[in-house]
Amino acid sequence: MAFHEKKIVASIAPYRQLLIAFLVIALISLAFLKFASEVMEGETLAYDRRILLALRDPANLSVPIGPKWLKLAMIDITALGSFAVLTLITVFAASYLVVVRKTRTSLMLVASIVSGALANSLLKAFFVRLRPDVVPHLVEVNSASFPSGHAMNAAMIYLTLGVLLAGAETARGPRIYLMAVAITLALLVGCSRVYLGVHWPSDVVAGWGAGAAWALLCSYASRALEPKR
């Protein structure tokens, strides 16, 4: 292949990645809409109720299963998906990127997270699903239920940061470890919402899917817009 042809292929590669990402996001969006339709029609309600009830003492639904320390641990874990904690993590991560002179990546990170949080608020306002009422809530909540904001925002932020950190590593082992940690944090936050009785399991699944899709799109966009060295 001639030199100028190789140069052309290299120049369009980032945009090809964006097109692939767009296709993937479109497919995930269709799956999300299909799942949301089933949720709003009540097709998942039986499974949702069964899981929530399975996590409580049948004799006293205000008591979750497991040792007493597990409830306290879940309350601590669910805070990892709270607005305050995720905002601090975003500010610290964005500031670090500015310090290491990756301002464009920092702006992309902030823009993706802010837009993702707004998307979650719009989805909640659109679907307006009520919180679970089959078991008492173990923490205070005051917003709509679908999709889970904690699950979506945690998946979006932790996975995005995981991709950024893993991208700075050359060895395969550390990259796998970083992504495993990011995925584990997102899963734990989502599971804590169900354990505490403040979300239907389907809310959390939808939040995971939407957050992961948003992180995927933003990672592709960041890679495509990054200047070549």
Catalytic residue status for 137: no
- Identify the pLDDT of residue 110: 86
Q: How confident is the model at residue 9 (pLDDT cuts 50, 70, 90)?
A: very low
Tens of pLDDT, residue by residue over 70-98, are: 999 999 999 999 989 999 998 998 898 88
Is the pLDDT reported for residue 106 higher than 80?
A: yes
DSSP 148-201: -HHHHHHHHHHHHHHHHHHHT--SHHHHHHHHHHHHHHHHHHHHHHHHTTSS-H
Is the pLDDT reported for residue 40 higher than 80?
A: no
Is the pLDDT reported for residue 10 higher than 60?
A: no
Q: Which of 199, 203, 211, 218 is catalytic?
A: 199
Catalytic residue status for 4: no
- Which structure tokens are listed for 226? 């990054």
DSSP 41-93: TTTTHHHHHHHHHHTEETTEEEEESS-HHHHHHHHHHHGGGSHHHHHHHHHHH
Q: Which of 48, 150, 153, 213 is catalytic?
A: 150
Tens of pLDDT, residue by residue over 120-166, are: 889 888 888 889 989 999 998 888 888 898 999 999 999 888 888 77
- Identify the pLDDT of residue 228: 52
- Identify the pLDDT of residue 43: 79
Is the pLDDT reported for residue 107 higher than 80?
A: yes
